[in-house]
A = this chain, B = another copy of it.
Amino acid sequence: MVGWIDEEHRGVRYGLAGELLVEETSPFQRISVIRSERYGRGLLLDGCWMTAEYQERHYHEALVHPALCGAKSIERVLVIGGGDGGTARECLRHSGVQHLDLVEIDGRVVELSQKHLANIGGNAWSDPRFKLTVGDGIAWAAEAAEASYDVVLVDGSDPAGPAEGLFNRAFFEHCRRILRPGGVFATQSESPEAFREVHVAMVRLLREVFDHADPLYGWVPMYPSGWWSWTFAAMGDPRYRSADPIRAEVIAADCEIWSPRWQRGGFEAIPAFIERDLSR
């Protein structure tokens, strides 16, 4: 049954022509897998667009490569959320990664992604460096040993439902605590347009918790307004702002969006209204 699958947000809707393949309710949320004409198979959680096969690289490349090309070492990586596998896939393209923990709260998101969106996780699911834990990423961060990860990436949904605890000080402080010296933290940080207040609050809070935090701006058409951000944070130096040239060269050849130049642009392209909000 082909029709429109829409997400509505404050008087705006973004829809893809396609059909619903699977819909079920897990203990955490309603999970929908669709097939779209334009972007291949896609995933919605509680009716909000999460990802689609041919519209996921901008998001995943933007979240991963500034962190993985910037951190001093990248041996141990923690991904919180990211049950579709795309963030893990991009991380594991870096040969310096020796171990990646992915902690996703909803095991059904992983299972449905593995079955229906296999392209997004790609080889990550079978990579010997990859370890999946179905569990609470907030508790994982609280319980992990001090200085036990080089990179911590948060690939969660909006600050409501299961992802709510990914947007507060206690969580960010644990992320700082479990980072090794020279490590980088990164999180998706919402739309500067459709979620302006949340976006600004996240950047401010990260600047209080870490020595440095900077938003990078990019684009995910299926998310509200299409205009999106990821915020990177570190102690000591803002290492995420300049890409290690050797790591970057290996990775950039197969990127659709990311390059060291694109990354420099994304950190500079802060709109005037957000720059003013942040300086208040």
Interface residues, chain A, with chain B CB atoms under 8 Å away = 4, 6, 10-18, 36-38, 58, 193, 217-219, 221, 225-227, 252, 255-259, 261-262, 264-273, 275
Determine the chain B residues whose CB is within 8 A of the CB of A226 once the complex forms.
219, 221, 225-227
CB nearest to A8 among chain B residues? B17
CA distance A13 to B38 in the complex (A): 11
Q: How far is the CB of A152 from chain B (nearest CB, A)?
A: 25
Instruction: Given A266-B265, A271-B257, answer yes or no on A15-B13 (Cβ-Cβ < 8 Å).
Output: yes
Which single member of B18, B262, B272 contacts A271 (CB below 8 Å)? B262
Q: How far is the CB of A226 from chain B (nearest CB, A)?
A: 3
Determine the chain B residues whose CB is within 8 A of the CB of A36 once the complex forms.
11
Q: Are A38 and B11 in contact (CB under 8 A)?
A: yes
CB nearest to A252 among chain B residues? B272
Q: Are B268 and A268 in contact (CB under 8 A)?
A: yes
Q: How far is the CB of A145 from chain B (nearest CB, A)?
A: 37
CA distance A267 to B261 in the complex (A): 10
CA distance A145 to B225 in the complex (A): 42
Q: Are B275 and A261 in contact (CB under 8 A)?
A: yes
CB nearest to A259 among chain B residues? B272
Q: How far is the CB of A161 from chain B (nearest CB, A)?
A: 23
